[in-house]
Amino acid sequence: MQGEMRAGYLFASPWIAGFLGLTAGPILASIFFSLCDYDVLHPPRWVGLQNYRELLGSRPLPTGPVPSDPIFWKSLVNAAVLSAMGIPLGMLVSLSLALLLNTRVRGMHFYRTLYYLPSITPILAVAMLWPWILNPEYGVINTVWRATIGAAFGIDPPNWLQSEAWSKPSYVLIGLWGAGGGMILWLAGLQGIPQHLYEAAEIDGATAWHRLRHVTLPMLTPYIFFNLIMGTIGSLQRFTDVYVISGPSGGPVDSTMVPVLLLFNNAFQYFKMGYASALAWVLFVIVLVLTLIQLWGGRRWVHYEGGR
């Protein structure tokens, strides 16, 4: 018995060392640095809650108080707009694809694979491809736009990523590239719905719309709930494609500046590691609060088979 305990301890030791050195250690260090003025080149200097006050507080001006860091609040607004636009549209597109691919026709496995492949494309490759597609001069979308909508109605195409008004819709469009990943989850949910529910609905005279509304969607509420939570977290943590496409500036007039990009700039461009650590913890609290609210609200509308 003691030998088994020693063997288990030996196997667990590398995990414990890795957890303490690579996970718990950096977490505790970031808490400490968030309370310090630290630029990497010099020893950290304790400043208490100054970073948090600078991040969340305001400063008086003759015209009234203004945020100490307006870019931070604008990044939160940008993330909220991207979430409000991207999450529902992404779920709608993924669910629509899953409904189309849940039929029994020849070659369905090929079609499912075809729609899933874009979601496994490296995000760096996607981020390098879309600026060419959305280029206002020679991009594919604007070329087709001029040949169709422009020729018929005389409406000029948008500037997409180079426009403050169209930059956020551009990133929503880019996010739809990975709709195939969500499609797999919806497809799994659709195939888990008991067929006798549809048969009973057909006997009662339900149309296709009524079956979708009263059978499919209620049975898919756990998947809607999961995609809503993960989509919210993913929107607040969005970074790679924004950084590659827009660069550290965050697009025209900070229209695509998101919290993680702002964190990156403060940490590795301005070397304000303490301020960046404080920003990271504020972002963590925001994600935690939003997740808890969604978990609490999910009790009212999420239906589990055989459960509440």
Residue 108 domain-assigned (yes or no): yes
| Tokens read off for 118 | 């874009």
| Tokens read off for 259 | 């919290």
Residue 44 domain-assigned (yes or no): no
In terms of residue numbers, what domain contains 76?
70-301
Residue 49 domain-assigned (yes or no): no
281: β partners: none
Residue 52 domain-assigned (yes or no): no
Q: How many domains does the chain have?
A: 1
| Tokens read off for 248 | 């550290």
Residue 142 domain-assigned (yes or no): yes
Could you read off the pLDDT of 207-249 as tens digits, one per residue?
989 999 999 999 999 999 999 999 999 999 999 999 999 988 8
- pLDDT at residue 307, rounded to an integer: 45
Could you read off the pLDDT of 24-78 as tens digits, one per residue?
889 999 999 999 999 988 999 999 999 999 999 877 767 667 788 899 999 999 9
Residue 45 domain-assigned (yes or no): no
37: β partners: 45
Residue 42 domain-assigned (yes or no): no
Local structure of 134: helix, strand or coil: coil
CATH number at residue 226: 1.10.3720.10
| C-alpha pair distances (Å), 114 with each of 143, 208, 303 | 25, 26, 32
Chain position carrying tokens 């919290």: 259
